[in-house]
A and B are shown apart, each in its own frame.
Chain A
Amino acid sequence: MGQQEFIALILAGGQGSRLSHLTKNLAKPAIPFGGRYRIIDFTLSNCYNSQVATIGILTQYQPFELHSHIAASRLYEGANSSGGIFILPPYTTDAGGDWYKGTADAVYRNIEFIQRYNPRYVLILSGDHVYKMDYRTIIAHHKQKKAEATIAVIEVPWAEASRFGVMTADADLCIREFAEKPAQPKSNLASMGIYVFNWPVLKEFLLADAQDLKSDHDFGKNIIPAMLQAGRELYAYPFQGYWMDVGTIESLWQANMDLLGDNALFDLSDPLWPIYSVDPAQPPHLVAGRAATRQSLICEGCQVYGQVEHSVIFPGVYVAPGAMIKNSVVMPNSLIGANAKITGCIIGCGANIANDCEIGADGGEKITVVGEYAHIAAGAKII
């Protein structure tokens, strides 16, 4: 078997329990996002645009929609010794088997897959982040620093630093300290959960971690601290640009809102960095004579008779006359009845909001979520 310089592994098994209704039947990376995408499309498109030849996707929680989405996206032709996309679920052997017990355990259990490609570097990615990154630059950075591990970091507001894994690095970006969700953060450089490892080094630490009964088998909690403690060369790669971990209802809503406006924080229309997805095979959308559509994204197959303002409307949504959608995210094939008012909401796939409903409130702190395929009876008020 020949050698590839690097391969990518995408961690896509997370449940996303803080996304409540939305991840009941699907894994977090499969959540619809930005009109015609699913969250994993951003990482997959980054891989494709960065010419990553081999991608392993580690799945576990509710994988059916995720698997079929990856298959239907047909981003890579074939999967063989020269590369492609491989789905890597937990499996059993003659010695038994178990679920993936953590991010590091998931990679440990696929050592043989990685060994097939015998890469110099392994890129560990997350399937639930929205961002654009050319992975060739982080690999180049890793090589230039002669690092054994490189961690992508982004500056976050100090007030929020305690929600992240926080890095303290010297002027040369060499990492001195790492603290997972510290109460008193010493730095505002947050780990993005994107790592480059020299494969032999990672393998050594994975094998050791697997023997440690007390370990959570997690990259952030176990592998990175162990490498620091062993005095290995860890470097930070400072990332400039938009990045969002879509882990909560608020961040999912916010990341959708960040796509709107003339100077959107996150631009989906860059021809040099297209985001690929599965085409919904639906016709161009119809905006009727008395409709009003402003500051919004609207997708194929929609029929808009009412008003849509500052919202993201996914494919196949029907907006009846007199309906008013504002500051909201409306997922595929939902039906918004006549004179309904939807404000500051996330409406799940295939939901049916009957006439005259009033859901959500403007300026409300909380986002109102209507679960997929929910039916809201006519005239209901949910605020």
Chain B
Amino acid sequence: MIDVIGIINLVSNDYALGEITQHRPLATVPFGGRYRLIDFALSGMINSGIDNVGVLVPLKQRSLLDHLRSGRDWQLDRKRDGLTLLPPAYERQKQPSLHEIGNLHANLAFFQKSRQQWVMMIPGGIVGSFDFKPAIAHHRASGADITLLYSEQEPHEYDCTNHVGLDIAADGRVQAIYSRPTSAEARNCFWGAMICHKDLFTSLITKHYAGSAENLLQALGQELGNLCIKTYRYPGMLGRIHCLKSYYRQNMLLLNPETWRQLFLQSGPIRTKVQPEHPAKYAADAHVAASIVAGGCIIRGAVDRSILFSRVFIEQGARVTGSILMANTCVAKNAVLENVICDKDVKISAGRVLCGQPDNPLVIKKGTVM
């Protein structure tokens, strides 16, 4: 238990993953065989000793509320602290706020009544086995007003938009924030995580709610001259998901046993909503290689380099390669899937052949019968 309020900021590009995010926010996009993206941020909070966690709820919230419920699956249903949902602002004659400042302003009461002194805010679309304790200790020792967490990115990671670059001076102070960086500017990638004192945080929200900043990033840019904003280089594995390509690639990375171990066995468990599943069942003619398989699956066919979520059925003679099959996908006899992402409840009928490209996977919409 540490003296920190955790905020998970789910206000983001709501259509980042096309059809996959048509009916759900980025936060509840299924990932890695049994998780939703928000599980990594939430588990990171718990595993870092932060147990007063507020979640900034986006406008599309049905699947989020269904997933989180009381927070019990993350051990956040507590008599004191635990999970608090922070819904978007409602104001008469005004559109609901689409950015986090309005949302945070509507929920200032949460900060006022929390007894912790510090605020750690992280985004929802990140994958990793997080331990934020060193970052928090670094912030408190550095004397900075605000600490932004960044990762050093390899150039091939720049192929997607939504990167934010930081220009960091020798003394660690942020000199500039680039919201549409060139590849040189994007080297120090700010991934939306920040730490500051609660009083400063609430006064910034109050100030910029009345000001011209359209989002928190712009507000931080405006404060660069006024406040001491420093950085902390996050050393661990960090997957950022902001488009279909990054989603597919981050999933496929898990098929590497080293990455699988790093993500799941490093800093405590990744928790998620618990459902009763029977153990995965392999039939006599199952051929499975280089794949990850969740509970409740029944496999009679061939599966290679793929991720099977809960209760996926692969019939005899079916071949699945390089694909992500979300919960309840059924692949009938002799069907062939290559580089396909099946959203939940998809049925592929016997003999169908569906192919996408490794750099452009084919997405089958939730509930489709093909």
A interface residues, Cβ below 8 angstroms from B: 34-36, 261-262, 268-269, 274-277, 279, 281-301, 303, 305, 308, 312-313
Q: For B285, what are the chain A residues with a Cβ–Cβ distance below 8 Å?
A: 294
Q: Could you list 19 A-B pairs, sorted by A, with CB under 8 Å?
A: A36-B278, A269-B278, A269-B281, A269-B296, A269-B298, A283-B260, A284-B293, A284-B307, A284-B309, A287-B289, A287-B292, A289-B289, A293-B282, A293-B286, A296-B282, A297-B279, A298-B279, A299-B280, A305-B257
Asked if B301 CB lies within 8 Å of chain A CBs, one says no
**How far is B308's CA from A294's CA once the two chains are assembled, in angstroms?**
17
Q: Which residues of chain B come closer than 8 Å to A293, judged between CB atoms?
A: 282, 286, 288
Residues on the B chain within 8 Å of A284, using CB: 32-34, 292-295, 307-309
Q: Per-residue CB proximity of B283-320 to A under 8 Å, as 1/0?
A: 11111111111111010100000011100000000000
Nearest A residue to B283, CB-CB: A262
Report the stretch among B108-116, B155-163, B189-197, B267-275 that lies at the interface.
Answer: B267-275
Partner of A289, one of B283, B286, B290: B290
Do A291 and B288 contact each other (CB < 8 Å), given the known contacts A269-B281, A281-B271, A296-B282? yes
Spell out B's residues near A (CB within 8 Å).
32-34, 255, 257, 260-261, 263-264, 269-271, 274, 276-296, 298, 300, 307-309
Inter-chain CA distance A28–B255, complex, in Å, is 38
Residue among A36, A275, A297, A298 with max Cβ neighbours from chain B (10 Å) = A298
Chain B nearest Cβ from A291, distance in angstroms: 7
Whether A36 pairs with B269 at a CB distance below 8 angstroms is no
Contact B295 A300 (CB under 8 A): yes
Could you tell me the distance between the alpha carbons of A285 and B288 in the complex, rounded to whole angstroms? 12
Q: Which residues of A contact B260 (CB under 8 A)?
A: 283, 286, 303
Taking a contact as CB atoms closer than 8 A, the residue among A36, A290, A295 that contacts B279 in the complex is A36
CB of B267 to closest CB in A, whole Å: 13
If over half of B's interface residues share one DSSP class (helix, strand or loop), that class is named, otherwise mixed; here it is loop
Residue of A36, A279, A282, A283 ringed by the most chain B CB atoms within 10 A = A283
Q: When the two chains form their complex, are residues B283 and A295 in contact, meaning their CB atoms are under 8 A apart?
A: yes
Q: Which residues of B contact A279 (CB under 8 A)?
A: 274
- CB nearest to A277 among chain B residues: B276
Q: Known interface pairs A34-B279, A269-B278. Does A290 touch B289 (Cβ–Cβ under 8 Å)?
A: yes
Is the pair A288, B289 in contact by a Cβ cutoff of 8 Å? yes
Q: What residues of B have a CB within 8 angstroms of the CB of A297 in the complex?
A: 278-282
Interface centre among B34, B255, B295, B300 (most CB of A within 10 A): B295
Q: Do B290 and A276 touch across chains, with their CB atoms under 8 A apart? A: no
Cβ–Cβ contact B290 & A287, under 8 A: yes
From B255, B263, B276, B307, name the one whose CB has the most chain A CB atoms within 10 angstroms.
B276
Tell me, in angstroms, the Cα distance from A312 to B261 when the chains sit together. Answer: 22
Contact across chains for A268 and B279 when beta carbons are under 8 A apart: yes
B208 smallest CB distance to A (angstroms):
39
Residue of B nearest to A268 (CB): B278
Given the complex of chains A and B, what is the CA–CA distance between A303 and B284 in angstroms?
20
Chain A, Cβ-Cβ closest to B261: A303
Residues in A whose Cβ lies below 8 Å from that of B257: 286, 288, 303, 305
Instruction: Tell me if B290 and A288 are in contact (CB < 8 A).
Output: yes
**A189 CA to B298 CA, complexed, in Å:** 36
Q: Of B261, B277, B307, which is in contact with the most chain A CB atoms at under 10 Å from its CB?
A: B277
Closest Cβ of chain A to B322, distance in Å, is: 13
The 10 closest A-B pairs by CB, nearest first: A284-B33, A35-B279, A268-B278, A284-B294, A297-B279, A283-B264, A279-B274, A289-B290, A281-B269, A299-B279
Q: Which one of B33, B284, B300 has the greatest number of beta carbons of chain A within 10 Å? A: B284
Chain B minimum-CB-distance residue to A315: B279
Inter-chain CA distance A283–B309, complex, in Å, is 11
Chain B residues contacting A305 (CB-CB under 8 Å) are: 257
In the complex, chain B residues whose CB is within 8 Å of the CB of A286: 255, 257, 260, 291-292
Contact A298 B290 (CB under 8 A): no
Contacts of B287 in A (CB 8 A): 292
A64 to B34, CA, bound (A): 30
Checking A275, A285, A289 against B278 with a beta-carbon cut-off of 8 angstroms, the contacting residue is: A275
Contact in complex: B293, A295 (CB < 8 Å): no
Chain A contacts for B261, CB-based, 8 A: 303
Q: Are A274 and B276 in contact (CB under 8 A)?
A: yes
10 further A-B pairs in the complex, CB-CB below 8 A; given A284-B33, A284-B295: A262-B300, A274-B276, A275-B278, A281-B269, A282-B264, A282-B269, A283-B292, A284-B294, A287-B290, A293-B282
For B34, the closest partner residue in chain A by CB is: A284
| Min C-beta distance of A331 to chain B, whole Å | 13
Partner of A35, one of B278, B286, B298, B307: B278
Q: Find the residue from B34, B255, B269, B293 having the highest chain A CB count within 10 A.
A: B293
Residues of B within 8 A of A281 (CB): 269, 271
Most buried by A among B33, B263, B280: B280
Contacts of B269 in A (CB 8 A): 281-282
A294 and B278 form a contact (CB under 8 A): no
Once A284-B32, A284-B34 are accepted as A-B contacts, the answer to whether A262 and B278 lie under 8 Å apart by CB is: no
